[in-house]
């Protein structure tokens, strides 16, 4: 069974801090994704990666960056956290190929004070 | 890029009744349409998917239909049970697209006992 693990379920940070959200998958998947989930807005793609050291912007990349130094790990970075980045963050992974399902982690509920 | 609209945003049904959630997509190149269920406090999980060469797919009480001409697809749940209460997300995927999925905004389904 695919396991996608996010390092924290809940996180509270202060405005201006640099925040790291970590995600690890154990299925040797090539693709990894970071989404933000807000009520009424669904899942919005922040960044994704289809290979080590490769990254692509999603729909809402502003204020975020990512790092993929190893295949199993994909990190989301808030360079200078702001209150409008308070949200639920979901990581997902999938294998390469057409029509591959994405497998999600449990999410990190991030509050920026 | 792809745009997916999902309706309704909330849906309440009596236990045993049927529930229908509808989605439309904009890009005719989309050819894969998964549905995810997210229970309160849990990760989104794939419940059913359909490919563009198929018009309908069933899995026990769940079915999905696809109308490529009209660019819409629907989730049908029959004989609803309280454990069906969750947020449901539709998604569309353009073949060969690295980002893979564009999600709808979600439907909160409540099954009343």
pLDDT of residue B94 exceeding 90, the answer is no
Q: What is the CA radius of gyration of chain A?
A: 13
What residues in B contact A44, CB-CB < 8 Å? 103
Average pLDDT, chain B: 93
pLDDT of residue A40: 84
Which of A84, A33, A35, A61 lies closest to B105 in space, CA to CA? A35
Chain-chain contact of B32 with A98 (C-beta, under 8 angstroms): yes
**Are B62 and B76 within 8 A, CB to CB?**
yes
CB contact under 8 A, A106 and B106: no
**Is residue B98 over pLDDT 70?**
no
pLDDT tops 70 at residue B41: yes
**Token code pair at residue A41:** 């807005």
The answer to whether the CB atoms of B100 and A41 lie below 8 A apart is: no
Q: Which of residues 8-27 of A touch B (CB under 8 A)?
A: none
Residues of chain A in contact with residue B9, where contact means CB-CB under 8 angstroms, are 40
Query: Do B43 and A58 lie within an 8 Å CB cutoff?
Result: no
Among B105, B65, B84, CA closest to B13: B84
* Residue B13: per-residue pLDDT: 97
Beta-strand pair B10-14/B107-112: parallel
CB contact under 8 A, B6 and A48: no
pLDDT beneath 50: ranges in chain A = none
| Tens-digit pLDDT profile for residues B10-34 | 999 999 999 999 999 999 889 899 9
Q: CA-CA distances (angstroms) from residue A71 to A23, A51, A52, A90, A107?
A: 11, 7, 5, 18, 20
What is the residue whose two structure tokens read 């994405």?
A102
Q: Which long-range contacts (CB under 8 A, 24 or more apart) does B73-77 make?
A: B73/B22, B73/B23, B73/B25, B73/B33, B74/B20, B74/B21, B74/B22, B74/B23, B75/B20, B75/B21, B75/B23, B75/B35, B75/B48, B76/B18, B76/B19, B76/B20, B77/B18, B77/B19, B77/B20, B77/B109
Length of chain B: 113
- Choose the closest CB to B9 out of A40, A94, A98: A40
């Amino acid at each position: 069974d695919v396991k996608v693990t996010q390092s924290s379920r809940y996180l509270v940070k202060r405005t201006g801090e640099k925040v790291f959200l970590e995600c690890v998958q154990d299925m040797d998947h090539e693709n990894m994704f970071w989404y933000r989930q807000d009520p009424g807005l669904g899942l919005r793609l922040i960044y994704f990666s289809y290979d080590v050291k490769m990254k692509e912007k999603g729909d809402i990349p502003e204020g975020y960056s990512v790092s993929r130094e190893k295949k199993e790990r994909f990190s989301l970075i808030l360079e200078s956290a702001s209150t409008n980045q308070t949200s639920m963050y979901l990581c997902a992974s999938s294998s390469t190929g057409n029509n591959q399902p994405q497998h999600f982690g449990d999410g990190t509920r991030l509050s920026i004070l | 890029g792809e745009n997916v609209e999902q309706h309704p945003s909330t849906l309440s049904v009596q236990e045993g009744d049927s529930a229908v959630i509808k989605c439309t997509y904009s890009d005719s190149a989309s050819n894969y349409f998964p549905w995810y269920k997210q229970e309160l406090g849990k990760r989104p999980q794939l419940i059913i998917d359909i490919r563009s060469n198929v018009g309908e797919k069933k899995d026990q009480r769940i079915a999905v239909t696809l109308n490529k001409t009209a660019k819409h697809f629907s989730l049908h749940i029959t004989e609803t049970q309280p454990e069906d209460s969750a947020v449901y997300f539709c998604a569309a995927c353009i073949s060969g697209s690295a980002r893979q999925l564009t999600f709808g905004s979600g439907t909160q389904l409540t099954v009343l006992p």
